[in-house]
Amino acid sequence: MAANLAQASAQIAAQDASALKCVFATLTPESCPGFYNFHMHTVCSDGRLQPDRLMAQAIALGLKGLAITDHHTVKGYYAAQEWLQWYTPELSQTHAIPHLWTGVEINADMLGTEVHILGYAFDPTHAALQPYLKGESSRGDDYRAEQVIDAIHTASGLAVLAHPARYRLSHEQLIPEAAHLGIDGVETYYAYNNPQPWQPSPKQTQEVERLSKTHSLFSTCGTDTHGLSLLQRL
């Protein structure tokens, strides 16, 4: 019974979009990677970290909150949540346990260009999201950005345009369009040239932050790690 209650509590916390909005409203260029990280990949898509090792590293770093955003799957999230359920009682005696939200990264077409849309704090069992959780990019109408955003919202989640200055079309074009389609935020604090140590790219950050404020969007952050360290992209 206690285990079931703990699992239900963890699921509720992972889908708490209201709490996540409050966090997004506080993010600055200094928030990542030491306090929050909302863009990370595991072996469940194209990353190198096992979900349990990702969580152990997040706890060791002292992260306050995070999301695993594997491409078109939530298997990494489920594995991380299961690991937390077993080890939280022991770890909580010596470490602060970060808030884990549901997350996913979905390919979509926007203005004829493929973009990536991050989903957060959604119900991973909701029927609206199932076309996007099959381990590969969707096709047809499901591939349209407006459909992806609507599916995330229907599943009670938040939608964010990932690394907006990394596409064929300019962020000056994509961010207004994303806002028009109802997106909630943009990944404002992102390192485009993979510097060491990690830090948001100054020029792009300034431009994206301006557009984010103009269109009343949340600014999010993440290292987009695909390697063995949460502190770097590769």
C-alpha torsion 119→39→73→162, nearest 10: 50
* pLDDT of 87 higher than 90: no
pTM for the full predicted model: 0.96
Q: What percent of the chain has pLDDT over 90?
A: 88
Q: What percent of the chain has pLDDT over 70?
A: 97
Q: What was the pLDDT predicted at 192?
A: 97
**Beta-carbon contacts of residue 136 (< 8 Å; ≥ 6 apart):** 72
Query: Average model confidence (pLDDT) for the chain?
Result: 95
Q: What was the pLDDT predicted at 34?
A: 96
* pLDDT of 5 higher than 70: no
What would the mean pLDDT of 121-150 be, rounded to a whole number? 98
Provide the 10 A C-beta neighbour count for residue 84. Answer: 20
pLDDT tens digits, one per residue of 41-58: 999 999 999 999 999 999
Question: What's the per-residue H, E or C state across 143-200?
Answer: HEHHHHHHHHHHCCCEEEECCCCCCCCCHHHHHHHHHHCCCCEEEEECCCCCCCCCCC
* pLDDT of 6 higher than 80: no
Query: Which among 100, 112, 27 has a CA at the least distance from the CA of 69?
Result: 100
Confidence of residue 4 (pLDDT cuts 50, 70, 90): low
Q: Which residue has the tokens 């209650």?
A: 5
What would the mean pLDDT of 126-152 be, rounded to a whole number? 98
* pLDDT of 191 higher than 80: yes
Q: Is 217 or 8 the better-scoring residue by pLDDT?
A: 217
Give the domain ranges of the chain. 2-221
What CATH topology corresponds to 2-221? TIM Barrel (3.20.20)
Please confirm whether the linkage preceding 197 is cis (ω < 30° from 0).
yes
Confidence of residue 89 (pLDDT cuts 50, 70, 90): confident
